[in-house]
Structure 1
Amino acid sequence: MIERIAASKIEQLATQFKSVAVTGPRQSGKTTLSRSLFPDKAYLSLENPDVRRFALEDPRGFLSRYESGAIFDEVQRAPELFSYLQEILDESPSPGRFILTGSNNFLLQQNISQTLAGRVAIVNLLPFSTEELFGNMTDVPDENQLIFKGLYPPIYEPGIPPEDWFPNYLRTYIDRDVRQIKNITDLIVFERFMRLLAGRSGQELNLTSLAVDTGVDTKTVQSWIGILESSFIIYLLRPHFKNFNKTLTKRPKVYFYDTGLVCSLLGISAIEQLPLHPLRGALFESLVVTELVKQRTNAGRPVNLYYWRDKTGREVDIVIDNGLTLIPVEIKAGKTVNNEFFGNITYWKKLSGATTGYIAYAGNQIEERSNGISVMNWFELLKRGV
């Protein structure tokens, strides 16, 4: 079993809070990790119709069987349990009594905020990070292989080929999670919407354009974006609003949490197609952005990542806001350093007064420029933990 970085944070929180909720996309390893960290706790999946029926029809009787605690998997499937869990947790001083997992962040967060606020710590568990898979490697992993395969655990353990796994994952996600969140009648249109969105990965989110291309209204597209975000399929990177320039873009950029899923949605069926694919740059950028997100969620830290773009088209891919300092990061899919890499980040540094910055690219050359900009391989940047 591949060691998960988030494990230490979950164990720590289980000694401080009465309950811990582990959320994340379907098949990200929530159940495997929870059961390995708490092997003495009973395990119940609320996806099981018999278990769910018992929990819904007799919640007191159901919970009375697990007075010493339990792992409740996909607990958002039985929202009525949360009120009864509140009563039990309030009466018990023991920390880490119940471990709750769920693949729908919206439903889980909604129930926690309504009934269990202050009693439950929440940890987001995303698919494998490159640090978890390759942290001890001195060689840089092949970015094309990573982009194509993605980082969902079943691709590595037990090793299901991505071209077989992703279509089935997509079908399961749409049939189960999408129906659970919102009763969408035309799932074929929703799947077409996902494929259109995959083609816009790394771009500003334009609801109107998506609505026209999908054939639905903008309110529907906005609702569907919420579904994908709450079920950890997409990540919206918000613009940084510090007023260095009054004519800033205010729309978020959209990224999929997993590039392997994007490849599947785009019909990329072999690694050999990637080097010349028109979206390779956007896919490489998605890989780096989501790895930066995972670094923060695995450590239980806020995701302090933004992007900056003005109306003239000048853009910095990532702005890391550390409160007192801002660190720009430009992401380039090329393997050769050239002067075009430096234009936007140099311009932004002059506006912001930032003293350091990074260019993460696919090559292996490392440069430390006199203007405070460091050029390095994307994997090296991640290992430095900026």
Structure 2
Amino acid sequence: MIIHRAIEDTLKRQFGTFPIIALTGPRQAGKTTLLKDIFSQIPYVSLEDLDTRSFAREDPRGFLTTHSPPVIFDEVQHVPELFSYIQTKSDEERKTGQYILSGSQHFLLLDNISQSLAGRAGILHLLPFTMQEVEHLDTFPVRYEDLIYRGLYPRIWDIESLEPSIWYRSYIKTYLERDVRSIKEVTDLSQFHKFLKLCAGRTGQILNLSALANDTGITHNTARSWISVLETSFVVFLLKPYYKNFNKQITKSPKLYFYDAGLATSLLGIESPQQIITHPLKGALFETMIVSEFIKYQMNTQRSDVGFYLRDKTGHEIDYLAKQAGGDSIAVEIKAGKTVSSDYFENLRYWDGMTQEGIGKNYVVYGGDQIQKRTEGSVLPWKKVSEVFK
């Protein structure tokens, strides 16, 4: 069964705007399925195939003549030499919708685009499913602990009997051996795996590179480099602090999040949803799941909203602050509790009084199932998180 993706309209629009589209994202996010579905009339060529890859490397001109546009080239990062030839061909044609390039190695793909395809390529990122994309399925869970454990990678939703913990272990092994092994900044895979697990234990927390480096047994510079590796391969992202119009008491370090809470859960050694209920990182995992939904929304729609968090030295924090193009703000507090409390609005009240520009819409996204309209803002259940941007 094909599950329609929220990025589809954006992808079609970009295809009609640019001569080249680059679709990147983490391994197993559904890029190939998406492209074959919405561009079913366009020839598909995978450079994962060794014979095809050899042809492209040895005779790029002949390869592009054989596969004339419009055409989809998947796993194109395997043949970086091809980009300059694609640039030349697209310039000759001078029309939109010529090449769709897809690859899971964001760092290689963007590096080559910046050199050869600048100004010619529309760049999109496909992440795992959003909640909204799968909420209509019979298998969509009632409890958020089940969704955190399961995660939102498409493969797990394709096969109902697939045990998430088993799939994630295989996914991590493949990621380390196929993606990370080729990166010059990583020379010790076992130590990088330890680093990855330690990052999972810090999801939803302010990033302290020095502590992370010490715990892993690496230098501060290596830790910084490895965080960049995880960012560019769509494993983690950093949420920047917002400190405009505030004093020195505002925290200025980013927060670390995993794109998929299920992956973080696996790295933490959690083997069932029941373990999440009493786990000390339950709140951080819930926050990770919700914040990642906001990031997916921005990527899927290509909106110009910019997301931040806001925290002062005394611990008052807004979990997510979206600055919209028109200047308005959306402030979101994220609470794993399943019963609404007036305390949930405490930080929203605090920052509403502190900021000179004011906070526009206030929301509390929590672990329960009720929608409430309060004077201080709206309360949304976790399943309705997409309502924040409507």
Corresponding residue number in structure 1 for 2:329: 326
Runs of at least 5 residues in structure 2 that lack an aligned partner in the other structure: none
In the alignment, the residues of structure 1 paired with residue 28 and residue 189 of structure 2 have an alpha-carbon distance, to the nearest angstrom, of 21
In the alignment, the residues of structure 1 paired with residue 369 and residue 11 of structure 2 have an alpha-carbon distance, to the nearest angstrom, of 35
Corresponding residue number in structure 2 for 1:77: 78
In the alignment, the residues of structure 2 paired with residue 376 and residue 368 of structure 1 have an alpha-carbon distance, to the nearest angstrom, of 9
Corresponding residue number in structure 2 for 1:380: 384
Q: 1:174 aligns with which of 169, 176, 189?
A: 176
In the alignment, the residues of structure 2 paired with residue 68 and residue 196 of structure 1 have an alpha-carbon distance, to the nearest angstrom, of 45
SS of residue matched to 1:236 = strand
CA gap of 1:82–1:23, structure 2 versus 1, over 3 A, is: same
1:162 aligns with 2:164: yes
1:341 aligns with 2:335: no
Give per-residue Cα distances to partners, 1:309-342, cap 9 Å, x unaligned.
Answer: 1112211100110141122110000011223212
Instruction: Give runs of aligned pairs for residues 1-386 of structure 1, distance below 5 A.
Output: 1-134=2-135, 141-159=142-160, 160-182=162-184, 184-302=186-304, 304-323=306-325, 324-352=327-355, 353-370=358-375, 372-386=376-390
CA gap of 1:369–1:69, structure 2 versus 1, over 3 A, is: closer
Measured after TM superposition, the shift of residue 381 of structure 1 is 3.4
In the alignment, the residues of structure 2 paired with residue 149 and residue 136 of structure 1 have an alpha-carbon distance, to the nearest angstrom, of 14
Question: What TM-score comes out, normalization by structure 2 length?
Answer: 0.94
Give per-residue Cα distances to partners, 1:138-190, cap 9 Å, x unaligned.
Answer: x9842111100000000011332212210110011111111233352310110
Which residue identity lines up with residue 289 of structure 2 in the other structure? L
Give per-residue Cα distances to partners, 1:330-371, cap 9 Å, x unaligned.
Answer: 00000112232122111001112224311110112333332x
Task: Indicate conservation of the 8 Å contact 1:195/1:266, yes or no.
Answer: yes
In the alignment, the residues of structure 2 paired with residue 141 and residue 18 of structure 1 have an alpha-carbon distance, to the nearest angstrom, of 44
Which residue identity lines up with residue 266 of structure 1 in the other structure? L
Which residue identity lines up with residue 383 of structure 1 in the other structure? E
Give per-residue Cα distances to partners, 1:101-121, cap 9 Å, x unaligned.
Answer: 011222211111211112111
Which residue identity lines up with residue 380 of structure 1 in the other structure? K
What number of residue pairs does the alignment pair up? 384
Task: Indicate conservation of the 8 Å contact 1:31/1:73, yes or no.
Answer: yes
Runs of at least 5 residues in structure 1 that lack an aligned partner in the other structure: none
Measured after TM superposition, the shift of residue 68 of structure 1 is 3.0
Moved more, 42-51 or 83-92: 42-51
In the alignment, the residues of structure 2 paired with residue 125 and residue 119 of structure 1 have an alpha-carbon distance, to the nearest angstrom, of 20
Task: Indicate conservation of the 8 Å contact 1:297/1:303, yes or no.
Answer: no
Aligned Cα RMSD in Å? 1.7
CA gap of 1:261–1:87, structure 2 versus 1, over 3 A, is: same
SS of residue matched to 1:90 = helix
Which residue identity lines up with residue 57 of structure 2 in the other structure? L
In the alignment, the residues of structure 1 paired with residue 53 and residue 310 of structure 2 have an alpha-carbon distance, to the nearest angstrom, of 46
In the alignment, the residues of structure 2 paired with residue 41 and residue 101 of structure 1 have an alpha-carbon distance, to the nearest angstrom, of 14
In the alignment, the residues of structure 1 paired with residue 299 and residue 6 of structure 2 have an alpha-carbon distance, to the nearest angstrom, of 10
Task: Indicate conservation of the 8 Å contact 1:140/1:379, yes or no.
Answer: no
Question: What TM-score comes out, normalization by structure 1 length?
Answer: 0.95
In the alignment, the residues of structure 2 paired with residue 261 and residue 339 of structure 1 have an alpha-carbon distance, to the nearest angstrom, of 33
Task: Indicate conservation of the 8 Å contact 2:29/2:154, yes or no.
Answer: yes
Task: Indicate conservation of the 8 Å contact 1:131/1:383, yes or no.
Answer: no
In the alignment, the residues of structure 2 paired with residue 183 and residue 311 of structure 1 have an alpha-carbon distance, to the nearest angstrom, of 34
In the alignment, the residues of structure 1 paired with residue 136 and residue 385 of structure 2 have an alpha-carbon distance, to the nearest angstrom, of 12
Which residue identity lines up with residue 200 of structure 1 in the other structure? R
CA gap of 1:384–1:315, structure 2 versus 1, over 3 A, is: closer
In the alignment, the residues of structure 2 paired with residue 336 and residue 183 of structure 1 have an alpha-carbon distance, to the nearest angstrom, of 46
